[in-house]
Structure 1
């Protein structure tokens, strides 16, 4: 699926994560900012990529600012941003959960 509009989810509060999805042209490109990127950067990217794959999104620029979010929070923010970016927030695809 193609991104219809740039979308954001999350906050910059402690234990949260802010993610922004915008149209890309070279597959899934990550811009990750996190104090724990060395330890958990690959896991954060893998969680987000799994959500994007579930929605069939393959060309996207993913900007992530992590403030210590746990995996369920990362997944929830990625799902929300994906639904907003695809303009299907009113018709959620529950099977991706």
Structure 2
């Protein structure tokens, strides 16, 4: 699957995560901002990477701003942004979750 446009999903509210995705060429590159990055940064990046790969995206630049989101929220936001970026929001692939 290929990214067609830059997309954003999520908010900057407490217990949420905002994810922006755009075309990339060197695998999945994640720029993560989080107050809990030291404790949970690796897990957040793992959830984003695994969700994108399950969706069929191998190359992407990701900017994520975490405000304490749980894994299920991170997965949902990642799926939403992937669908928007690939312009496939009318064909949800919920098996990714």
Matches of 2:11 and 2:70, distance apart in 1: 14
2:18 alignment partner in structure 1: 18
**Runs of 4+ residues deviating >6 angstroms:** none
Matches of 1:70 and 1:55, distance apart in 2: 20
1:4 and 2:7 are equivalent in the alignment:
no
Matches of 1:94 and 1:44, distance apart in 2: 20
1:43 alignment partner in structure 2: 43
With normalisation by structure 1, the TM-score equals 0.96
1:32 alignment partner in structure 2: 32
Where does the alignment leave 5 or more consecutive residues of structure 1 unmatched?
A: none
Residue 19 of structure 2 aligns to a residue whose secondary structure is: strand
Matches of 1:71 and 1:94, distance apart in 2: 15
C-alpha displacement at 1:95, in angstroms? Answer: 2.1
Matches of 1:78 and 1:94, distance apart in 2: 12
1:81 and 2:89 are equivalent in the alignment:
no
Residue 65 of structure 1 aligns to a residue whose secondary structure is: strand
With normalisation by structure 2, the TM-score equals 0.96
Residue 90 of structure 2 aligns to a residue whose secondary structure is: coil
Q: What RMSD over aligned residues (CA atoms) do the two structures have, in Å?
A: 0.7
